[in-house]
Structure 1
């Protein structure tokens, strides 16, 4: 019988530096995994942390990690070909089948772009499988923007709006707007709001007001998906750290349809 708590070793094959505090670690992995799912990533004698999957390839996955504590500090000291430990994948991810043949809108704030990157990447590479895809990605400043190389490629098939709260540094060649993501939603060209689908991921307040605005524009609640952020420790719905109401985010989420997610308050 498999021990679900037992991590397995994996090798780092590439490290992509986005900002001083955010790096993507590409690691070896073969198996079924969806965008929006997460792994418990650990270093022996240090601890473990839940990390969302930000990219999926045939024999690797991407883990975009923000340096914010003891475990992530240690991970940032690792080098190419070093090993770390993982267990998972856990949770309910985004099902791209639900968005095929639809007008798709993705709204992401900050590191919220990481768990939806796989969805955007899929439809950017298969634009014929959806009617239209728009991405509104918001960051604090140009210095905080993630996945610039991906964004340059996405622009070929995706209606991409990159927006920052303020231009506190030189954006260089980066094409970006100024303002919150909600300020740009009314300007999107969507043919049928009632049939369009949306994914919203980011800080709780950003998701709250973005979803309210989408409803005002004509989106149906059942056509909106969100991803909840919680401290998911066991990943198996046993420890209770991630429980909201009667839902365990690590097993029932992190991805929720808005009809369920709208009722989840701490």
Structure 2
């Protein structure tokens, strides 16, 4: 019987230094993954952490990781050719089929852009499967901007609002993502969905602002990138009320997510 908690080694193909605090690791992998799923990444005798897939292609997947503790310090010391241990994928996924042939709004804050990057790349490559894509992505300042190369590509096909919390730079608005939600022409859409990912406080206020703009709960989707530990519903670390985030999430419709947000 397969041990679902046993990690396996995968070779690091490339490491992209996105910012001083965030690196993207491209890892050799032929495991099929869905948009929005996550893996448990680990270093033996150091620890492990849940990380969403931020990119995928033929024979590889990517993880965008923020340097925040002992494990990530160890990960940042690795080099291409080294082995990264991982298990997964775990969790559910973004309901891509529900998004097709409708308008899509994506609201992301900071590293929250990573879990939605694969669906943005999907609709960038398949523009005939979506009516329109509207993106609001916010970063603390210009030094925190992720995937700058992707943002430039996305601007050629998507309606993009890139904003900095309290900074000014060419090509960027200023202010929190919530301040720009009113710019989305919801009334012109026949049918649409909203995806939002970021810190819980961001999703809380973004959700309230969306509701104030007439968006129904059922049209909103979020992803929780925190609290998970074992990823298989055994440890209870991710449990919020009666919900195991690792099993029922990390993607939730807002009808349920609004009762799980901190």
TM interval, shorter chain, is: over 0.9
Are positions 1:196 and 2:192 aligned together? yes
Aligned equivalents of 1:219, 1:112: Cα separation in 2: 21
TM superposition score normalised by structure 2: 0.96
> 2:47 maps to what in 1?
47
RMSD across aligned C-alpha pairs, in angstroms?
1.4
- Alpha-carbon separation, structure 2, partners of 1:251 and 1:75: 26
Measure how far apart 1:231 and its partner are: 2.4
Q: Structure 1 length as normaliser, TM-score? A: 0.95
Contact 1:25 1:64 in 2 (8 A): yes
Q: In 2, Cα distance between the equivalents of 1:78 and 1:140?
A: 27
Partner of 1:149: 149
Q: Distance in 2 between matches of 1:31 and 1:10?
A: 11
Paired with 1:219 and 1:128, the residues of 2 have a C-alpha distance of 25
Deviation at 1:195, TM superposition (A): 2.3
- Name the counterpart of 1:135: 135
SS in 1 for 2:259: coil
1:194–1:220: 8 Å Cα contact kept in structure 2?
A: no
Count of residue pairs brought into register by the alignment:
262
Select which of 178, 182, 187 maps to 1:182: 178
- Structure 2 gaps of 5+ residues are none
Contact 1:29 1:60 in 2 (8 A): yes
Distance in 1, matches of 2:64 and 2:112, equals: 10
Please say if 1:209 is aligned against 2:209: no
Is residue 228 of structure 2 the alignment partner of residue 232 of structure 1? Answer: yes
Q: Which ranges in structure 1 are unaligned for 5 or more consecutive residues?
A: none
Can you list the C-alpha shifts for 1:32-90, whole angstroms capped at 9, x where unaligned? 21222111101111111111111111211110000111111000000011111000011
Q: CA deviation at 1:31?
A: 2.2
